[in-house]
């Protein structure tokens, strides 16, 4: 493995460790850099010393990187600043794709311009189970396919190999600019340019060196190292490069004929699946067993599909573009059909819940195995891989670090609710579990991976009411994370998800408790008081929404109010019976912002500064109601919505309130 490749890996690893939210990861990486540096000094090995310096540099750069801009309080966060020119071009391209592809628009946008917001969690989960999730975002594969198709077309026009190669690179760079130059596409474009220049100049270059240069360029923006698309792109390409080395050194000398052909078809898929496994486990909580086979089936389809999508996007005449888009529809259906069929195979994937350092150690083991595959003497990197895997097994036994803040995480589960409170000791209390669908649920696809990769135990699960968009993922969560307690208002509803949750709680030994006014929950010193539902009040109800569990959480001087799907009747009961306890700095808005909740009288009692709305993008209910959003703004609350911002995190030390989301960070004055 060339020095430039090892240098890029060391710097990227340092960045990841420096950005880690778990301080133990940064400390371990710092000790590792020091140990490697000392070894380099003692051995007088300049290569080792340089690797240690780059690892330390990455840690320092990440640690000193300015945070995302902190915006002062405004009445709304929905009005973004003027978009940069590339973003406007990308938005225009996305709009044209929607017009051309209709119902296939969400998938076409994901494959062409890295726009995945319209893909539901069930789609992403299906592709993760099938081992094809890396194909849903712009990656080196997509850009390389476009480059190859363009160069083939230009060569057929008798332009000459050199001219065709140069012109294809120009077109690729225009394409990368049009889609906003995402990190994986930029990586691929740089790598293709290096390899193309080497071919034109007839100066062979190591594929590892080309990969390293391509991977290093996007790191001009250090936070690109945290992009899933960038990570999958680099890891997948490293797997393909390593597979060529393994085939050349270990398989070709021993196998020939059809066996060699079959091995060369299967090996890249197997190695790429293994190399990307830690990333898939971290982001999706799943490991695909069927991935190698599904990739073999999907690869020729995407090779035909991607150039057609590209041509449809750039075709200047709408009629011609629509013709090409219609021609791509069967391939889109076939591509999705492969994912559906692979994900439906029994035991196609297994659920895992790794922590951050566990994933990093597994990643280090993968890197060591890649080095072993390409090194002349492979014993040392193989031993390092075994050591890293041993550390990955040991680390989960350590307790999480103590924090000075508590955090409320409003998870992006689409049209549903899942609110996770994190205590100062790093443990969790989960309110609601999102929705379910025919092939999965939000517990499996979003909540379990999200909590597990941040560490800490699920101390308690609270169900606000038994509607499917709140209880859909509960059984999965209760089985996977095994909370000690299950709190429920005990308003019985004839739903399969609710019955499954009760059964899972009983099987897992979770203590079930009914909650009502005056009940409280104590976890790591954090007290949660329940204000509703009153049993006498709930006995006459037919709507589970009006029997929602309402909880007040207080940490220092800051109060949170979680109201489930409470509607106007329950809000009126709360105002009349317990108005003093409704005062809150942070309000989880009821019923996804429906017009049946969040009345003016209730808001006058609560007086929130932050309003959180968990709602699905382009949902059929048209939530949240514009009237409710307007009432919240008039009441002085800043509104944060999952359909626009994704997962929203509210952190407080008991005095200050900070809100984080993918668009930035905001500090909210309490008075």
Candidate ranges 339-343, 452-456, 495-499, 558-562; pick with highest mean pLDDT: 558-562
User: Cα separation of 166 and 147, whole Å?
Assistant: 11
Distance from CA of residue 224 to its chain's centroid? 14
Confidence of residue 494 (pLDDT cuts 50, 70, 90): low
Query: Is residue 137 predicted with pLDDT exceeding 60?
Result: yes
Contact 169, 193 (CB under 8 A): yes
- State the average pLDDT over residues 232-239: 82
* 473 compared with 138, residue with greater pLDDT: 473
Query: Is residue 671 predicted with pLDDT exceeding 70?
Result: no
Which pLDDT score, from 0 to 100, does residue 529 have? Answer: 95
Where would I find the H helices in 247-374?
258-284, 291-314, 318-344, 356-374
SS (H, E, C) 56-72: HHHHHHHHHCCCCCEEC
User: Tokens 């490069």 correspond to what residue?
Assistant: 241
Query: Is residue 594 predicted with pLDDT exceeding 90?
Result: yes
pLDDT in tens, 298-311: 888 988 888 888 88
Candidate ranges 10-14, 68-72, 378-382; pick with highest mean pLDDT: 10-14
- State the average pLDDT over residues 250-265: 79
Contact 449, 285 (CB under 8 A): yes
C-alpha angle 59-359-409 in degrees, rounded to nearest 5 = 85
User: Cα separation of 212 and 6, whole Å?
Assistant: 8
What's the mean pLDDT when you consider all of the chain?
84
- pTM, entire model: 0.65
Query: Is residue 85 predicted with pLDDT exceeding 80?
Result: no
Name the packing angle between helices 291-314 and 318-344 (round to 10°).
170
Return the percentage of the chain with pLDDT > 70, whole number: 91
Where would I find the H helices in 405-447?
442
Which pLDDT score, from 0 to 100, does residue 428 have? Answer: 95
Which pLDDT score, from 0 to 100, does residue 1 have? Answer: 62
pLDDT in tens, 267-284: 887 888 788 888 888 777
C-alpha angle 288-232-352 in degrees, rounded to nearest 5 = 35
pLDDT in tens, 515-536: 999 999 999 889 899 999 988 8
Range with the poorest average pLDDT among 138-142, 380-384, 417-421, 494-498: 138-142
- State the average pLDDT over residues 304-329: 86
Which pLDDT score, from 0 to 100, does residue 13 have? Answer: 83
Confidence of residue 456 (pLDDT cuts 50, 70, 90): confident
Q: Which residues contact 577 (CB under 8 A, 6 or more apart)?
A: 517, 534
Range with the poorest average pLDDT among 98-112, 362-376, 462-476, 614-628: 362-376
* 192 compared with 331, residue with greater pLDDT: 331
Q: Which residues contact 158 (CB under 8 A, 6 or more apart)?
A: none
Task: List b or e across 526-544, with b for residues whose CB sees 16 or more CB atoms inside 10 angstroms.
Answer: bebbbbbbbeebbeeeebb
* 2 compared with 585, residue with greater pLDDT: 585
Which pLDDT score, from 0 to 100, does residue 68 have? Answer: 55
Which pLDDT score, from 0 to 100, does residue 178 have? Answer: 75
């Amino acid at each position: 493995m060339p020095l430039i490749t090892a240098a890029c890996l060391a710097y990227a690893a340092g960045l990841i460790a420096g950005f880690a939210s778990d301080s133990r990861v940064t400390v371990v990486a710092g000790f590792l850099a020091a140990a490697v540096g000392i070894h380099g000094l003692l051995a007088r090995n300049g290569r080792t010393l340089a690797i240690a310096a780059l690892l330390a540099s990455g840690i320092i750069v990440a640690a000193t990187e300015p945070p995302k801009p902190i915006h002062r309080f405004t009445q709304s966060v929905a009005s973004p600043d003027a978009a940069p020119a590339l973003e406007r071009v990308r938005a225009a391209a996305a709009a044209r794709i929607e017009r051309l592809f209709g119902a296939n628009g969400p998938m076409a946008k994901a494959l062409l311009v890295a726009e995945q917001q319209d893909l539901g969690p069930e789609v992403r989960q299906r592709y993760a189970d099938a081992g094809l999730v890396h194909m849903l975002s712009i990656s080196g594969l997509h850009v390389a396919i476009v480059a190859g198709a363009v160069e083939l077309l230009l060569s057929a026009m008798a332009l000459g190999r050199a001219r065709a190669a140069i012109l294809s690179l120009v077109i690729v760079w225009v394409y990368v600019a049009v889609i906003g130059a995402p990190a994986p596409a930029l990586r691929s474009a740089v790598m293709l340019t290096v390899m193309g220049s080497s071919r034109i100049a007839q100066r062979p270059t190591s594929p590892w060196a080309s990969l390293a240069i391509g991977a290093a360029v996007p790191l001009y923006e250090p936070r690109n190292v945290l992009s899933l698309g960038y990570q999958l792109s680099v890891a997948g390409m490293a797997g393909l490069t390593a597979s060529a080395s393994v085939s050349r050194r270990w398989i070709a000398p021993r196998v020939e004929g059809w066996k060699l052909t079959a091995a060369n078809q299967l090996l890249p898929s197997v190695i790429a699946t293994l190399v990307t496994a830690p990333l898939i486990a971290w982001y999706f909580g799943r490991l695909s067993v069927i991935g190698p086979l599904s990739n073999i089936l999907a690869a020729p389809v995407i090779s035909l599909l991607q150039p057609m999508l590209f041509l449809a996007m750039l075709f200047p005449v709408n009629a011609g573009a629509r013709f090409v888009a219609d021609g791509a529809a069967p391939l889109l259906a076939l591509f999705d059909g492969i994912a559906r069929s692979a994900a439906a195979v029994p035991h196609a994937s297994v659920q895992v819940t790794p922590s951050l350092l566990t994933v990093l150690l597994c990643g280090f083991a993968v890197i060591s195995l890649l080095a072993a595959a390409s090194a002349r003497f492979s014993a040392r990197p193989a031993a390092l891989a075994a050591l890293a895997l041993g550390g990955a097994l040991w680390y989960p036994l350590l307790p999480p670090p103590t924090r000075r803040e508590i955090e409320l995480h409003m998870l992006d589960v689409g049209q549903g609710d899942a609110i996770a409170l994190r205590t100062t000791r790093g443990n969790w209390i989960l309110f609601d579990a999102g929705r379910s669908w025919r092939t999965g649920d939000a517990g499996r696809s979003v909540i379990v991976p999200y909590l597990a990769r941040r560490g800490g135990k699920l101390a308690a699960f609270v169900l606000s009411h038994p509607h499917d968009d709140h209880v859909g993922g509960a059984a999965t969560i209760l089985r996977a994370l095994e909370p000690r307690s299950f709190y429920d208002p005990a308003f019985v509803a004839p739903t399969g998800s609710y019955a499954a949750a009760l059964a899972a709680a009983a099987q897992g030994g979770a203590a079930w408790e009914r909650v009502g006014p005056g009940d409280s929950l104590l976890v790591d010193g954090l007290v949660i008081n329940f204000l509703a539902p009153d049993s006498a009040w709930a006995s006459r109800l037919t709507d589970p929404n009006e029997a929602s569990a309402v909880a007040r959480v207080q940490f220092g001087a800051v109060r949170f109010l979680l109201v489930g799907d409470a509607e106007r009747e329950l809000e009126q009961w709360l105002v009349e019976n317990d108005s003093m306890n409704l005062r809150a700095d942070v309000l989880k808005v009821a019923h996804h912002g429906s017009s049946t909740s969040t009345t003016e009288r209730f808001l006058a009692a609560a007086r929130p500064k932050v309003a959180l709305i968990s709602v699905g993008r382009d949902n059929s209910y048209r939530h949240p109601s514009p009237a409710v959003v307007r009432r919240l703004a008039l009441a002085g609350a800043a509104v944060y919505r999952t359909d626009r911002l994704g997962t929203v995190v509210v952190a407080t030390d008991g005095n200050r309130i900070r809100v984080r989301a993918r668009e930035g960070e905001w500090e909210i004055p309490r008075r």
